[in-house]
Amino acid sequence: MSIRNLEPKAMWNHFADLNAVPRPSKKEERVIEFMMNFGKSLGLETIQDKIGNVIIKKPASKGMEDRETVILQSHIDMVHQKNSDTVFDFDTQGIEMLVDGDWVKANGTTLGADNGIGVASIMAILASSDIDHPAIEGMFTIDEETGMTGAIHLDGSNFTGKILLNLDTEDDDELSIGCAGGIDTNTSYNYSQVDINKDFIGYQISIKGLLGGHSGMDIDKGRGNANKLMNRIHYHLHSLTELQIISIDGGSLRNAIPRESKSVIAIHKDYAPTFEKEITRIAQELAFELKTIEPHLEIHWTPTEISGKAISSEDMMKILNALYSVHNGVFRMSPDIQGLVETSSSLARVIVKEGSFITQSLQRSSVESTKSDVANSIRASFENIGAAVVQSGDYPGWQPNPTSPILNLMTDLYKEIFKDEPHVKACHAGLECGILGKHLPGTDMISFGPNIRAAHSPDEKVQISSVQKYWGYLLETLKRIPKK
């Protein structure tokens, strides 16, 4: 079945059009042009601000002129990630989508439902002639996934609305009223290189098949981190025999739990039979530990030709110890909201190559003081070995307001339509609302969306029936917006 034949057709067709445009974070020129052309083609006021955000304004439909103006907001960039065996060029190709039962997926890549479904929803409302709505200010922000640059540099003078609907959450029974802030920690260390021992032979070790996922929303699920698992393997092998590490390449994106890692190592040729026996045992041990959560974990090792230089023994131990000691996962659960991760850190990227050891990690928290605490703990782990540490991209969280008027309206509406209670939550992802609130003081904000699973990974998918539920709920919410 074609994506374009799904209901609601208007929204799915806009999603298909959007997904034909390459739109990686920090390379949004083409999708900005696409959105500008879209707004102008409708004859609507269309603005590009200095940072690149697109604003499209539509007057109220007939009979709704006396209602409060609503800001509809989503981000136009997407995470570009693919399976290692998928041949795909994100810079030139549109996303290849397919229908699988009640789900829409992509062919070996991320789907872009995060946040393309939200963008397509706003496009469908802006383009409609038969949807009742108040005056709409469509806000399409850039670079949400790698720094929230669009939100940080937003020009708030372009907006008059005092209600903001953020269409960027991933469970259709949830209303989000708060989120975590975050900070990036990037480290670098120049290690000493030595010749590879002439009696040593090389092996490539690879880890793949992990679930990965969003390093905020999925951090409490106990999923394997390929960087930490690879370091555990190296650390153990070093405890048994002389080991030389030539290269490591683990993870991909700063905000994704790393699914894969590869390394090239060298050991004495006489140790090869023991090495293969021992690494088999380690692989079985890790598979057993993670069997419930990570049933598809694969750890492979193959002989390989080796060249270049290895890390010196002293620096190798510094690197192994730093990676072992650095915190990864939940740092603190919220004492105030049951089940909410308050603070976390994810070791997203590890690179060892030609004398340079680099890491990227992302710390998140809904409390500024504990965000600083976990970030300092990461800094300390790497400064202890003499690494340079740069912390950047600091953005605030969104403080929940349980008495929000839009929350009350949408809670009552949810109960009326679905005969059930919505889950009112704060989330551990970095929504833009915390930053937007600083530019739009006094704005009443809420975030919601359809069921999206495995965002930021090639397993990303969005549920068709859930999109239909969410779409009807969104349209009914617009009908109920109060008078000015």
Cα 62 to chain centroid distance, Å, stands at 39
* 77 in catalytic set: yes
Mean pLDDT, range 283-300, rounded to an integer: 97
Query: So what's the pLDDT on residue 173?
Result: 97
Q: Which of 396, 365, 403, 405 is nearest to 164 (CA)?
A: 405
Q: What is the mean pLDDT of the chain?
A: 95
Q: Give the pLDDT band (50/70/90) at residue 438.
A: confident
Mean pLDDT, range 472-479, rounded to an integer: 98
Beta bridge partners of 262: 206, 249
Q: Is residue 180 within 8 Å of 366, Cβ to Cβ?
A: yes
What does 189-235 look like in DSSP terms, one character per residue? EE--EEEPPTTEEEEEEEEE-----BTTTTGGG----HHHHHHHHHH
Query: So what's the pLDDT on residue 458?
Result: 94
Burial degree of 265 (CB within 10 A; 0-12, 13-18, 19+): buried
* 249 in catalytic set: no
Query: So what's the pLDDT on residue 431?
Result: 80
Mean pLDDT, range 463-481, rounded to an integer: 98
Query: So what's the pLDDT on residue 280?
Result: 95
Structural domains of the chain, with CATH? 3-179+397-480 (3.40.630.10), 183-394 (3.30.70.360)
Query: So what's the pLDDT on residue 337?
Result: 78
Beta bridge partners of 90: none
Of the listed 144, 172, 260, 294, which one is catalytic?
144
At 159, list the tokens: 């907006």
The Cα 169–Cα 471 span in angstroms is 13
Mean pLDDT, range 75-100, rounded to an integer: 94
119 or 396: which carries more pLDDT confidence? 119
Of the listed 28, 68, 77, 342, which one is catalytic?
77
Query: So what's the pLDDT on residue 393?
Result: 84
At 167, list the tokens: 């269409």
Query: So what's the pLDDT on residue 1?
Result: 76
Query: So what's the pLDDT on residue 401?
Result: 86
Query: So what's the pLDDT on residue 257?
Result: 97
Query: So what's the pLDDT on residue 298?
Result: 97
The Cα 168–Cα 192 span in angstroms is 45
Residue type, 72: L
Whole-number percent of the chain with pLDDT over 90: 90
Beta bridge partners of 178: 426
Query: So what's the pLDDT on residue 61?
Result: 97
At 322, list the tokens: 């730093």
Predicted confidence (pLDDT) at residue 430 exceeds the cutoff of 80: no
DSSP 3-state assignment of 453? strand
